[in-house]
Structure 1
Amino acid sequence: MTGGILFRNVFIKIYAKVLARRLQGHMTELVHSDQTGFIKSRLATDNVRRLLHVIDGVQGLSTPAAVLSLDAMKAFDRLEWPFLWSVLEFMGFGTPFINMIKVLYKNPTAVVLTGKTSSPPFPVSRGSRQGCPLSPLLFALSLEPLAQAIRNSPTISPISINGTHHHISLYADDVLLYLNNPVQCIPHVLSIFEHYGSLSGFKINWQKSALLPLNQAMCGAPIPASIPVTKNFIYLGIDIYPSIHTLTKNNFCNTLNKVVADLDRWSGLSNSLRGRVAIIKMNILPRNNFVSSMLPLPPPSQYWSKLQSAITKFLWRGRRPRIKLTTMQRERQAGGLSLPNFKFYKWAFTLRPLLTWFRPDARVSWRALEEQKLAPYSFANILHSNISARQCRLRFGPIISYLLFIWRRVEKLAGCSPGWGPYSPIFNNDKLLIGSRPICFPDWERKNICTLGDIFGEGGLLTFQNICIKYCVPRTSFFFYLQLRTALKSNGVPLKGPLRPHSLHKLFHAARGTSGFVSRLYWFLLQHSYRPLALDAVWRRDVPDLKPTFDWDKVWANVSLASRNPDHQQIHYNFVHRVYLTPRKLHLMKVINDPTCTLCSSKVIGSFFHMYWECSPVAEFWKMVASNLSKLFKIRLPCLPATLILNDLTELGLTLDKRRALLAGLTAAKKLVATRWKPPHSLSFRVWVLTYLDIVYLELSIARVHGAKESAIKAWHSLLTALRGFRV
């Protein structure tokens, strides 16, 4: 069935998936790099990156240049099967494999369902099966003859930049043509598409297609009336303009405006802080990451500050923030709430193309263009150049210059600059000089001696004799070896012992593909941005006997362990971070005049530590909690802030199940202490037990739903029985 929902049994799905997996491994060899849709290791961002290079490169051309965006009419539904079989046969697929594919297309039928009424079955004779894992690959193969015809046509002039030629970009049914002198090319384009459509069923809706002039030479050029000329068009979700500056500004600003409007509209929702963080992660992050990934260019000035301001306002409902945004952006295991750091995601997306730079066999449409732009530098040694940001912009264009700028920022963040490592280049490296000039020695380059890792071993710099044996270099290069050794020594490269790996290079060279790489790079950036939290000093000021080896990692682990309920976890998080407002804080905010505690007669400053630990009613309450928990778990639970507030349970020797149960009791206690400011300001044993019971019932139910181990369920049952025995 085509054009609707397709229902197939599981055996057909498995069969199609097996064929798709066999075919996927050969797609990069069968399909040109111009086509990226549904092909492993190729991304939609590759097409946009190439298009941006073209837009930037044609501005100085004297000949007219334009891009033609084509709208295909139901492309997947119109594919003629005889044409598909012919394409597969021409590409060298064997008859048995083609017959295995034909099984999926043998005598299919479809019905039209209207309400509860279905039409009689009718045969389907063309189109690819939507939802079938094999269909996208077959469709990509069916488009390859069209792409080849465009590339091979002598009458269609491509746009040429830095010695590279650009004819066509395809992503599924999104087709983009690069036309030099389009007035002459368009009639031949129409002819090729008409001929291809007569064979394959492919049809272009010319009224919805668009021609975008890219330079001033296009002004006044006569264009066929059948093709609309536009000032901008949407391509793969990005609004394309003939100006890089306008394109970047409009796309980022449109995204920002929509995000700010949505956050303002949602600000009245009664979500908890964690709920609002989840909204940011599920809704705002994907939208921002889309434009960040598709555009390898810097956002407009103040973009990040405006986005951060809108997010902060949403998280705290327009009130004054109680936790720093940088703290909330840390991992939960590091004391944060895993709030996304949008700038780091942008940096990760910007650096992802380096995977292509570091892989000589990568088949990506923009690789050759960037290689030519960088000449005489290579992909490897440009990262070690001392070219200024202004010179980068003038020589390499905005895309490469922004990538190099972010690379240097990340190097500085990770503390790995200048980065002498196994992957550091020997030649054309501005940081490795002989006689104030970068090193150039073709005799060694021809032997593939290009990086420090090639001439270093476990013991340090290889001897000249070992290099001669390993690479068969001529003995006449001994003087160059001495020069190189001197240059290495003068630049601080350790000649003895193995080279320390450059952490960034190590991350990139360890990657097996683009899948999941942005996430790994994001966590790398996030972890290198961590600075010691001020909490340690604050708590040590109030609790002088806190051990020097106090483990904050276990504190954060116990916050997550405390409950499956995020609101209960947040209670512990708030206590550790001292989020709650106190008389002292309110006085500093000029909300109240008197900063002293109003819930006891001591007349002391109402600091956090006093209000939640030292205040006499609270101190008595914590003693009661510690005493009863000691009886429940048959342990000696010390009545100390490190144990009861910071959840330091390391010396109690409890099993995991008992730790969960004990933390549930502390959750109940903290919940009461946190709400003590409400009348009648009392902390009773009865209310604590009832709150504890509610939490245990909840945890027991969750354990059952999530299929917890029998030992965990028994532990909650035992605790429930024990709590019911209390007289309240």
Structure 2
Amino acid sequence: MNKAYDRISWPFLTAVLRTMGFSDKWVTWISQCVQTVSYSVLLNGSPTTKFKPNRGLRQGDPLSPYLFLMCANILSCALLKQENLHNLKGIKIGRSTQPLTHLLFADDSFLFLKNDTKSITAIQSTLAWYCSISGQSLNLDKSELYCSPNMSTHQKSILAQELGVKLVQHPSKYLGVNFKLRGNRIADFQDLIDKISSKLQGWKAKLLSQAGRLTLINSVLTSIPIYTFSVFKIPETVCKRLDSLINAFWWGHDPGRKKLHMTNWDTITKPKAQGGLGIKKFGPMNKALITKQYWRIKNNPNLLLSKTLKAKYCPNEELRSHKPNQKASWIWRNIMGQNNTNLCQAAWRVGRGYNIPISHPDWFKIKPNAPQSLQNQLTTVADLIDHRTATWKTHLIYQLYENQDVDQILSITLPVVENNAAPDKLVWPHSLNGEYQVRKAYEILTQQDTASRLHPSSNNQTTIWKLLWKTKLPHKILTFTWKLLHHALPTKAELNSRGMHCAMNCIMCNTAIETQEHLFLHCDLSRAVWFGADIPILHLTQAAVTVDSWVKDLLKQSNTLESTNPILQKTLTLLWCIWFHRNQILFAGKQPNPMEIILTFNSLLNRFLQNFANNAGTNAEVRNTAQAPTLSPDPSWQAIILTAGGKTHHRTRLGLAYMGKFRDGQVMFVGCKTINVQDINMARLLAIREAIIKAAELGLQSLIILTEGRDIGTNVGK
């Protein structure tokens, strides 16, 4: 469509809203939002007199995409009507799949038709009718015709002339993705490499600090291939090339000149809480995004995508057990062939259990020696539940399943009120709400979520890294500190240890080898600077403490304070100033000057703290003017309930506790117990449930519930 948003007829939009059942008041509101716009044009830099349009939707208005989709739905309905009247024949990608006549995305449209006169006439008449009532206009210059290779060149040319569009051998890109792949997978996705390379060439790496480069990487570069990664399995060669480009950019490579990487890529791509910089690897990110398509198809069987692909490739087979053959399309094989059991693993959220066959592949496997007569009597999970008491029939479960599966089944919480039970639903077991999460999938693929369990001693390190990134200092200082803690500063001793031979004497005092400890603690100039900044370090030099252990101790001490430790702020800033002055001496030919370092330190620290104070004041004003709605409980509330869930002395079990009080503060009930679950948020939710049951037994209906946990309130109803 030509200028699709700008040409929508307002009377047509109003008619569409009324046809879809919106009330007159609502239609009036929408019309006022759309029709009260006015425009002014800049002419030679000066705005002209404002004028009002008589059609169109505003670009950038959050309402506009939804209103446009409602209008485009009229075109969709008209095409479906032509199909139902057998005037238009679409294409089928499989014998049992439904024919496709069109796909719409915003103002872009794909139209599919057979090469026959009836279909051509139906398409042309439908488009002409839609344009006449909606105000839209076809943009034939930007429209293309792609034909099946089974058609002759003459047939293709005749069809293109009848439709008035351009005939192409290779369709253009759609949403930045190649519409047709050429077969050479690396060449197909060379555009991704070129796009990121062109971005990097436009940014002058040497003019940006590493903290600035990190921000650009995480906010811009890693988001460029997201859509392509969600559709295609990108070759590993391409992913590694993209990783290499990002890595080189962060270390500040100049064109044709590589720089030393002081830390390996695996460390950099760890989460910040685990000692990395939070940059994501493209390979695992691609797998996590592709697997989302698998879950989309699995959990949304009524989607056109799901119905079409399942009808073609596995019409009589469960998705989980399906193994695509070599004749299947490359995209389908990629969606189904990730071979990661963790990501594709599903679990049942049990409601009443009637919709969960015991033989379902996503339910627990019956042990080989289970009595066959018992198996014949049981068909669904509902047969394993005592619905009167809302408990599992443990005697049946022990007969049917292995011991490790028994524990997992018994840990599944059952709804107490059967009539209000949520429906049985397949969920993703790695998230609290059961929805597939790309972020969590990436963590599983890179084994980041298991790092603390595999290495319990790493919990202290995790705390240190979290405290570092929470420190109220500019990111360039925090990034410098990160490098210092990883021994990634290019001191002369470090460079020599990596095979880069150079004079090892300290450039500031020329009396000892330049190591981190000497440069920041033992150098005469540095000691004078610490003394001038009123930060005592004599005890550190006498005890032979390393710089990184000193900084870690300061970070641990700040964990006990309510606000950022001022000593920590001063120390990290002064460390950065010493390093900055050292580089000025080495690369700019400056003379060592401790007073200059102290003056720079005082100026920077005061400016940093003032900026943080100003931002805190601005944020406080924003919070005051845009506060979230305060809690307004029913004034007739009868009781207040306090709940909690947490660890017990059991290794594999958690505990819950709850208390109910009347309005006058009198305790009406208390309770606690251990439960066979490992998720602390689930324990908190179960505590709420137990307390509500107790309150209901006492006839209480209006309650105030106080609990802990940030995510609890958003998941209570799920």
TM range (shorter): 0.5 to 0.7
The yes-or-no answer on 1:166 pairing with 2:100 is yes
1:197 alignment counterpart:
131
Query: Any residues of structure 2 matched to 1:267-416 within 5 Å, and which?
Result: 269-293=206-230, 296-316=231-251, 317=253, 318-360=258-300, 364-375=303-314, 381-383=318-320, 385=321, 391-394=323-326, 396-406=328-338, 408-409=339-340, 411=342
CA distance in 2, matches of 1:530, 1:566: 28
SS at match of 1:176: strand
CA distance in 2, matches of 1:80, 1:626: 70
2:79 alignment counterpart:
150
CA distance in 2, matches of 1:392, 1:251: 23
CA distance in 1, matches of 2:193, 2:285: 16
Give the drift of 1:552. 1.7
Q: Is the 8 A contact 1:252 1:291 kept in 2?
A: no
Give the drift of 1:204. 1.0
Q: Is the 8 A contact 2:90 2:101 kept in 1?
A: yes
SS at match of 2:146: strand
Superposition RMSD in Å: 5.0
CA distance in 2, matches of 1:409, 1:197: 48
1:141 alignment counterpart:
70
CA displacement 1:369-427 (0-9 Å, x = unmatched): 1232453565xx533x3x6xxx5243653333212333x3372xx8xx97887689854
SS at match of 1:578: coil
Change (3 A) 1:572 1:171: same
Out of 58, 82, 96, the position equivalent to 2:11 is 82
CA displacement 1:9-28 (0-9 Å, x = unmatched): xxxxxxxxxxxxxxxxxxxx
CA displacement 1:473-513 (0-9 Å, x = unmatched): xxxxxxxx99xx65x439x633676358999822468256x
CA distance in 2, matches of 1:630, 1:611: 13
Change (3 A) 1:328 1:202: same
CA distance in 2, matches of 1:105, 1:99: 10
Give the drift of 1:706. 0.7
CA distance in 2, matches of 1:405, 1:585: 45
Change (3 A) 1:276 1:425: farther
CA distance in 1, matches of 2:213, 2:249: 8
2:489 alignment counterpart:
580
CA distance in 1, matches of 2:600, 2:291: 50
1:16 alignment counterpart:
none
CA distance in 2, matches of 1:444, 1:264: 69
Give the drift of 1:333. 2.5
Change (3 A) 1:418 1:338: closer
1:510 alignment counterpart:
433
CA distance in 2, matches of 1:696, 1:503: 54
Give the drift of 1:157. 0.6
Residue type of the partner of 1:127?
G
The alignment covers a number of residue pairs equal to: 581
SS at match of 2:172: strand
Out of 561, 566, 572, the position equivalent to 1:660 is 566
Residue type of the partner of 1:489?
E
Give the drift of 1:359. 3.4
Segments of 5+ residues of structure 1 without an aligned counterpart are 1-71, 465-480, 537-546, 632-636, 712-728
1:493 alignment counterpart:
405
Give the drift of 1:151. 1.6
CA distance in 1, matches of 2:458, 2:176: 52
Query: Any residues of structure 2 matched to 1:5-16 within 5 Å, and which?
Result: none
The yes-or-no answer on 1:230 pairing with 2:168 is yes
Q: Is the 8 A contact 2:558 2:565 kept in 1?
A: no
Q: Is the 8 A contact 1:618 1:673 kept in 2?
A: no
Give the drift of 1:164. 2.0
CA distance in 1, matches of 2:212, 2:271: 16
Q: Is the 8 A contact 1:166 1:178 kept in 2?
A: yes
CA distance in 2, matches of 1:567, 1:675: 15
Change (3 A) 1:652 1:92: closer
Residue type of the partner of 2:168?
T
Q: Is the 8 A contact 1:629 1:662 kept in 2?
A: no
CA distance in 1, matches of 2:479, 2:505: 27
CA displacement 1:76-96 (0-9 Å, x = unmatched): 222223333333333333333
Q: Is the 8 A contact 2:9 2:56 kept in 1?
A: yes
Residue type of the partner of 1:140?
L
Higher relative contact order (CA 8 A, sep 6+): 1
CA displacement 1:113-145 (0-9 Å, x = unmatched): 524666666663332344443333222222222
Change (3 A) 1:600 1:420: same
2:715 alignment counterpart:
none
Relative to the length of structure 2, the TM-score reads: 0.67
Give the drift of 1:192. 1.4
CA distance in 2, matches of 1:595, 1:329: 31
Give the drift of 1:662. 3.6
SS at match of 1:101: helix
Q: Is the 8 A contact 1:158 1:180 kept in 2?
A: yes
CA distance in 2, matches of 1:576, 1:306: 28
Change (3 A) 1:626 1:499: farther
| Percent sequence identity over aligned pairs | 17
CA distance in 2, matches of 1:555, 1:399: 43
